[in-house]
Amino acid sequence: MISHLIFVTLAIISIGLFTWKIRLIIRQIKLGKSVNRSDKAGERFKTMLLIAFGQKKMFNRPIPAILHFLFYVAFIITQIELIEVFIDGFKGSHRFFYNEGMGPLYVFVISAIEVLSVLTFVATLIFFARRNIIKLPRFTMEELKGWPRKDANLILLFELLLIIFIFMMNSADEADKVLRSKVGYGFAMSQYLGPLFFGKITNSELLHTLSAIGWWGHLIMVFVFLNYLPYSKHLHILFAFPNTYFSNLNAKGKFNNMEAVQAEVALMLDPSADPYAAPATSDAPQRFGAKDVQDLTWKQLLDAYSCTECGRCTSVCPANQTGKLLSPRKIMMDTRDRLAEVGANKFNLEDGKSLLGNYITPEELWACTSCNACVQECPVNIDPLSIIVDLRRYLVMEESKVPTELTGMLTNIENNGAPWQFSPADRMKWTEEN
């Protein structure tokens, strides 16, 4: 009865805290400006299936893709066992599905989970080595120092502990069943691990206690992970699906127009328009571009919370490769950190800080070549370039801060309608040469 009460209490508290934090994050994302991503539902659903469910873009790099796919499949299939853990916790039963007449199917499913768990255990060690022993360049960059590096290693540690507790539970159960009925469950791995680790124990009650320790350890790690998730880069486990669904389906390189500027240009090009007419709206003028998180769209803010910090975007960035300060991954991490700071400060946007300046510098922004390599490479269709462009728009249109290299080009566009210093009347003279 006490065990049952503890389980129910832990479940209610854990799920409640997780729900509260997710609602807070969603509220932060809703700070962003409106953008319509409700069109082309069929294409969006297909994109989500291929990119989020199918991990399509991960396989641009086969070795880490296979390792990550093991994590992904194991995570999905393990939820079957987790359902049983919750049923056992609420009902006070033990291996509910097995005792409900699902013996052969149950053994098959648990065996599949065990095989995947072993493969995931190996993959976890490889991922740990890639980050801490081999030290791949994209995992040792400046933006990953401190908490981001600890976060990645903590998740790997949680995964190892979770697998250890699963096998402790199953192996002790195997040994106990063999002790009581001479025949075990026959789980793929535990039928060998049980006798190996617990075969000399002849006390059924002790084996049951060891199994219970594994069960509680498994459950507690699930609750810990659940409430750690919103504070970790691994929130992409949940947000990758809506993020890919709401992807920008336009051709890469097509920039969005600012409505206020587009309306002014349309007015100037309309010979019948009355320049002295009252404006169509009485709303206060919007800021050109973006200075802080509230100036970005909700989709850009969702991008920030969906970032996996894998660094693929930065590893293909030509500016970063040539030693420039820009790192697309840092752009997303900075946006998320600023958004989280605003949320922690009770959504106070007048705290004397802003995304531009306090987190992201103009030097980073102007290093971008707008090549879209980062957008193409991202496994979950995050768009760092859109944030870079909006922050640059603010620098140009609100603060008139433009690198001297661009000043001449902008002047030529204004005067000649083209980046070159030639009069529009002379534009076709090259045809007269022959």
Q: What is the pLDDT of residue 434?
A: 60
The fraction of the chain above a pLDDT of 90, given in percent, is 72
Instruction: Name the maximum alpha-carbon separation found in the chain.
Output: 101
Q: Give this prediction's pTM.
A: 0.89
CA distances from 156 to 95, 190, 327, 339, 403 (A): 27, 22, 25, 26, 44
CATH, domain range 259-265+287-413: 1.10.1060
Does 276 or 115 have the greater pLDDT score?
115
pLDDT in tens, 224-242: 999 999 999 999 999 999 9
Q: What is the pLDDT of residue 370?
A: 94
23 has pLDDT over 90: yes
Residue boundaries of the structural domains of the chain: 2-30+61-234, 259-265+287-413
Question: What would the mean pLDDT of 330-354 be, rounded to a whole number?
Answer: 94
Average pLDDT, the chain: 91
Q: SS3 string of 117-167?
A: HHHHHHHHHHHHHHHHCCCCHHHCCHHHCCHHHHHHHHHHHHHHHHHHHHH
| pLDDT tier for residue 422 given thresholds of 50, 70 and 90 | confident
**Interhelix angle 147-181/204-228, nearest 10 degrees:** 160
pLDDT in tens, 108-120: 999 999 999 999 9
Q: How far apart are CA 418 and CA 42, in angstroms?
A: 40
| Closest to 395 in 3D by CA, of 343, 356, 342 | 356
267 has pLDDT over 90: no
Specify the amino acid at residue 281: T
Q: What is the pLDDT of residue 410?
A: 85
Q: How many residues does the chain have?
A: 434
pLDDT in tens, 207-225: 999 999 999 999 999 999 9
Count Cβ neighbours within 10 Å for each residue of 136-159 and write b for 16 or more, e otherwise: eebbebebbeeebbebbebbbebb
| pLDDT tier for residue 284 given thresholds of 50, 70 and 90 | low
Q: How far apart are CA 90 and CA 99, in angstroms?
A: 16
Q: How far apart are CA 373 and CA 378, in angstroms?
A: 9
Point out the least confidently predicted range of 94-103, 114-123, 200-209, 349-358. Answer: 94-103
Question: What would the mean pLDDT of 399-426 be, rounded to a whole number?
Answer: 86
65 has pLDDT over 70: yes
Query: Is residue 53 within 8 Å of residue 379, measured between CB atoms?
Result: no
282 has pLDDT over 80: no
285 has pLDDT over 70: no
62 has pLDDT over 70: yes
Q: What is the pLDDT of residue 411?
A: 87
Please list, in sequence order, all residues whose beta carbon lies within 8 angstroms of the beta carbon of residue 298, skipping any fewer than 6 positions away.
Answer: 29, 30, 31, 32, 33, 34, 35
| pLDDT tier for residue 245 given thresholds of 50, 70 and 90 | very high
393 has pLDDT over 80: yes
318 has pLDDT over 60: yes
